[in-house]
């Protein structure tokens, strides 16, 4: 087993990885920017290396600085967490070239899945159902007109290099398609330096449901059920749950089997998430994430599997030590992402935490680097904590989540805790009756009330 792992990240996920390492008897190296010198992941690590100034580009995204830190500390492997360098194929390649293990998939799998057109082709070839649309990229406005007529309106034009909803345009009718093509392609070109787009049938009110998999380097693949991540605002997830209130066990088993078979077909290795839109009882592949995800704890809470431990074992060449039959899903889990933001306007609220008290008790988990006196720097993502709650039923989970949110004290900065309190008391949420459009309408209704 690895003796020492460098954690190329910050905040709650750096702590999460550190905890898995400790549980496995592996020593840890933290890297940090000057802004994070006093942070919890640095304090708890066995060693730490400052890798640059506050700006993410000059520190956590600085490949040479991260790899140098791994070399000087004699680290055996690098865990990238999520975000930053976690889906950077060039970084994964550089790490391996320096004789260090990248805890993740092969650079080739990262590359294919990072290109939405290639990812969709690979998924379809491997047997995963996809959204009806163009065969690969759409090269010209004339081709967009032709494809639109074939698949039927409305259509969605998407950037191949996309992410965060940028470079996405709906064309309601054939009259809009040329304009939508030009806007999407132009946005993609300026945002990603790659104007390639593709087209899909537009699904108006789907749910976002993703399947968690683990695949080792010996061809063993298991799925760990789904997460419903439909509650998003401006392409940022707000709350996730497992199981999805929309699926029954036979639908879960069917899509899980399809995904496992596909992962074996493509020779995938590492934890991975296959994302679907789900509408009228059908699954449609949209993307695959080749990293650990923010919301992985909801899966851990219902399956009892430590996903980071499995990532580390897999990267070390070990076989999965359990089979699909041994995976059991028990009860219900919900994660609330707590951001240092105004809960109504969503503007970031960095600053110093003057008082801190976190909830606890049976079925309550908090993943966070916060403490009383912690400084939340303005340079990074505003997510500062994840509250994850488990119950034997969805209702027990919800009751416990209400209780846990009411216990949570984070003084000195404003957070989205009040948003979560409102959200989980909304009747549609209680009923499990929501889709990818629901949260923005719910938040908007609130703004309108505030303006009256
Ligand atoms: C879609 C869609 C409707 N129809 N594709 C948004 C970003 C990218 N990850 C995929 N996205 C969507 N693709 C088709 N054919 C609607 C979205 C979408 C969305 C998807 C998941 C969660 C939240 C969303 C919010 C807006 C749009």
Which residue pairs, CB below 8 angstroms and at least 24 apart, start in 361-366?
361/400, 361/403, 361/404, 362/400, 363/301, 363/389, 363/390, 363/391, 363/397, 363/400, 364/388, 364/389, 364/390, 364/400, 364/404, 365/297, 365/301, 365/389, 365/390
- How confident is the model at residue 445, as a pLDDT? 80
Binned at pLDDT 50, 70 and 90, residue 449 comes out as low
Rounded to the nearest angstrom, the distance between the alpha carbon of 2 and the centre of ligand 1 is 39
- Whether residue 88 is contained in a domain is answered as yes
Question: Which of ligand 1's atoms lies nearest the C-alpha of 203?
Answer: 4
- How confident is the model at residue 162, as a pLDDT? 75
Side-chain-facing half-sphere of 32: CA atoms under 13 Å:
22
SS3 405: helix
Number of domains comprising the chain: 3
Ligand 1 neighbourhood includes 208 CB (under 6 angstroms)? yes
For the segment 369-382, the average pLDDT, to the nearest whole number, is 98
Name the residue with higher pLDDT: 449 or 432. Answer: 432
50/48 Cα distance (integer angstroms): 7
Ligand 1 neighbourhood includes 439 CB (under 6 angstroms)? no
For the segment 350-378, the average pLDDT, to the nearest whole number, is 98
| Claim to verify: residue 177 and residue 194 sit in the same structural domain | yes
| Claim to verify: residue 186 and residue 272 sit in the same structural domain | no
| Claim to verify: residue 295 and residue 310 sit in the same structural domain | yes
Is the whole-model pTM more than 0.85?
yes
Please name the residues in contact with 24: beta carbons below 8 A apart, sequence gap of 6 or more.
Answer: 1, 309, 312
**pLDDT at residue 452 above 50?**
no
123/72 Cα distance (integer angstroms): 40
SS3 380: coil
- How confident is the model at residue 26, as a pLDDT? 98
Task: Give the pair of three-digit tokens for residue 257.
Answer: 């089997």
- How confident is the model at residue 248, as a pLDDT? 97
**Which is nearest to 377 in space by CA: 366, 388, 369, 386?**
369
Three-state secondary structure along 42-76? HHHCCEEEEEECCCHHHCCCCHHHHHHHHHHCCCC
Q: Which of 151, 168, 205, 438 has most ligand 1 atoms within 8 Å of CB, for mutation? A: 168
Binned at pLDDT 50, 70 and 90, residue 446 comes out as low
- Whether residue 366 is contained in a domain is answered as yes
| Claim to verify: residue 9 and residue 87 sit in the same structural domain | yes
| Claim to verify: residue 274 and residue 182 sit in the same structural domain | no
- Whether residue 161 is contained in a domain is answered as yes
337/386 Cα distance (integer angstroms): 5
| Claim to verify: residue 185 and residue 213 sit in the same structural domain | no
Ligand 1 neighbourhood includes 164 CB (under 6 angstroms)? no
Task: Give the pair of three-digit tokens for residue 309.
Answer: 């431990």
CATH assignment at residue 169: 3.30.1490.20
Ligand 1 neighbourhood includes 209 CB (under 6 angstroms)? no
Question: Which of ligand 1's atoms lies nearest the C-alpha of 275?
Answer: 9
**pLDDT at residue 347 above 90?**
yes
Q: What are the pLDDT digits (tens) for 214-244?
A: 999 999 999 999 999 999 999 999 999 999 9
What do you get for the CA distance between the two ends of the chain, in Å?
Answer: 62
Ligand 1 neighbourhood includes 203 CB (under 6 angstroms)? yes
Please name the residues in contact with 252: beta carbons below 8 A apart, sequence gap of 6 or more.
Answer: 225, 226, 243
| Claim to verify: residue 367 and residue 262 sit in the same structural domain | yes
Buried b / exposed e over 335-350, threshold 16 CB at 10 Å, is bbbbbbbbbeebebbe
- How confident is the model at residue 450, as a pLDDT? 53
Q: Which of 153, 208, 230 has most ligand 1 atoms within 8 Å of CB, for mutation? A: 208
Question: Which of ligand 1's atoms lies nearest the C-alpha of 230?
Answer: 22
Kindly report the protein residue whose alpha carbon is nearest to atom 12 of ligand 1: 165
CATH assignment at residue 231: 3.30.470.20
SS3 90: helix
Name the residue with higher pLDDT: 451 or 40. Answer: 40
| Claim to verify: residue 312 and residue 373 sit in the same structural domain | yes
| Claim to verify: residue 165 and residue 267 sit in the same structural domain | no
328/61 Cα distance (integer angstroms): 37
- Whether residue 109 is contained in a domain is answered as no
Question: Which of ligand 1's atoms lies nearest the C-alpha of 202?
Answer: 4
Phi, psi of 229 (to 5 degrees): -115, 35
- How confident is the model at residue 444, as a pLDDT? 86
319/298 Cα distance (integer angstroms): 24
144/155 Cα distance (integer angstroms): 10
For the segment 314-341, the average pLDDT, to the nearest whole number, is 98
- Whether residue 175 is contained in a domain is answered as yes
Asked if 375 and 389 touch (Cβ cutoff 8 Å), the reply is no
**pLDDT at residue 182 above 60?**
yes
For the segment 264-275, the average pLDDT, to the nearest whole number, is 98
**Which is nearest to 294 in space by CA: 350, 391, 227?**
227
Q: Which of 116, 155, 156 has most ligand 1 atoms within 8 Å of CB, for mutation? A: 156
Binned at pLDDT 50, 70 and 90, residue 448 comes out as low
Q: Which of 172, 235, 246, 294 has most ligand 1 atoms within 8 Å of CB, for mutation? A: 235
**pLDDT at residue 388 above 70?**
yes
Ligand 1 neighbourhood includes 286 CB (under 6 angstroms)? yes
| Claim to verify: residue 213 and residue 345 sit in the same structural domain | yes
- Whether residue 214 is contained in a domain is answered as yes
What is the chain's mean pLDDT, rounded?
Answer: 96
- How confident is the model at residue 447, as a pLDDT? 55
- How confident is the model at residue 167, as a pLDDT? 86
- Whether residue 111 is contained in a domain is answered as no
Could you tell me the residue range of the domain that residue 228 belongs to?
Answer: 207-447
- Whether residue 183 is contained in a domain is answered as yes
| Claim to verify: residue 307 and residue 378 sit in the same structural domain | yes
Please name the residues in contact with 178: beta carbons below 8 A apart, sequence gap of 6 or more.
Answer: 141, 144, 145
Torsion over CA: 340, 344, 346, 347 (sign): negative
Task: Give the pair of three-digit tokens for residue 249.
Answer: 């066990």
Rounded to the nearest angstrom, the distance between the alpha carbon of 388 and the centre of ligand 1 is 25
| Claim to verify: residue 243 and residue 377 sit in the same structural domain | yes
Asked, as a colleague might, if the bond just before 154 is cis with ω within 30 of 0, I would say yes
Ligand 1 neighbourhood includes 435 CB (under 6 angstroms)? no
Catalytic residue positions, numbered: 291
Kindly report the protein residue whose alpha carbon is nearest to atom 3 of ligand 1: 203
Ligand 1 neighbourhood includes 159 CB (under 6 angstroms)? no
For the segment 158-184, the average pLDDT, to the nearest whole number, is 91
231/246 Cα distance (integer angstroms): 13
**pLDDT at residue 451 above 80?**
no
Judged by average pLDDT, the poorest of 85-99, 156-170, 198-212, 232-246 is 156-170
């Amino acid at each position: 087993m690895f003796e020492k792992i460098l954690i190329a990240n910050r905040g709650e996920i750096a702590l999460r990885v550190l905890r898995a390492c400790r549980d496995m008897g592996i020593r840890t190296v933290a890297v940090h920017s000057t802004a994070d010198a006093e942070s919890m992941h640095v304090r708890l690590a066995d060693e730490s290396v400052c890798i640059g100034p506050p700006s993410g580009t000059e520190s956590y995204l600085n490949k040479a600085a991260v790899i140098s830190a791994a070399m000087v500390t004699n680290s055996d492997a690098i865990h990238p967490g999520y975000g930053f360098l976690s889906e950077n194929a060039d970084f994964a390649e550089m790490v391996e070239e320096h004789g260090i293990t990248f805890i993740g998939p092969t650079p080739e799998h990262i590359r294919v899945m990072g290109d939405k057109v290639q990812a969709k082709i690979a998924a379809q070839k491997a047997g995963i159902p996809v959204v009806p649309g163009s065969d690969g990229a759409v090269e010209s406005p004339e081709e967009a007109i032709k494809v639109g007529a074939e698949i039927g309106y409305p259509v969605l034009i998407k950037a191949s290099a996309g992410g965060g909803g940028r470079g996405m345009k709906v064309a309601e009718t054939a009259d809009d398609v040329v304009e939508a093509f030009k806007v999407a392609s132009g946005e993609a070109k300026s945002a990603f330096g790659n104007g390639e787009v593709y087209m899909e049938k537009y699904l108006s009110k789907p749910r976002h449901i993703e399947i968690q998999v683990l695949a080792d380097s010996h061809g063993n693949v298991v799925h760990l059920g789904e997460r419903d991540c439909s509650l998003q605002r401006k392409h940022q997830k707000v709350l996730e749950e497992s199981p999805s209130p929309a699926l029954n066990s036979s639908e879960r088993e069917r899509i899980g089997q399809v995904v496992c078979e596909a992962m074996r077909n493509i020779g995938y290795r590492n934890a991975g998430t296959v994302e679907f839109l789900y509408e009228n009882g059908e699954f449609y592949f949209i993307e695959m994430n080749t990293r650990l995800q923010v919301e992985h704890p909801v899966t851990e809470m219902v399956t009892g599997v430590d996903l980071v431990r499995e990532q580390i074992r897999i990267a070390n060449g070990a076989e999965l030590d359990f089979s699909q039959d041994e995976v059991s899903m028990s009860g219900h889990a919900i994660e609330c992402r707590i951001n240092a933001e105004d809960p109504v306007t969503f503007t970031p609220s960095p600053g110093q935490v003057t008082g801190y008290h976190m909830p606890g008790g049976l079925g309550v988990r908090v993943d966070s680097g916060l403490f009383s006196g912690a400084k939340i720097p303005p340079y990074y993502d505003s997510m500062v904590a994840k509250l994850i709650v488990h119950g034997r039923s969805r209702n027990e989970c919800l009751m416990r989540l209400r209780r846990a949110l009411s216990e949570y004290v984070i003084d000195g900065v404003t957070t989205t805790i009040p948003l979560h309190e409102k959200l989980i008391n909304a009747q549609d949420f209680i009923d499990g009756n929501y889709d990818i459009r629901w949260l923005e309408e719910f938040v908007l209704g609130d703004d309108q009330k505030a303006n009256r």
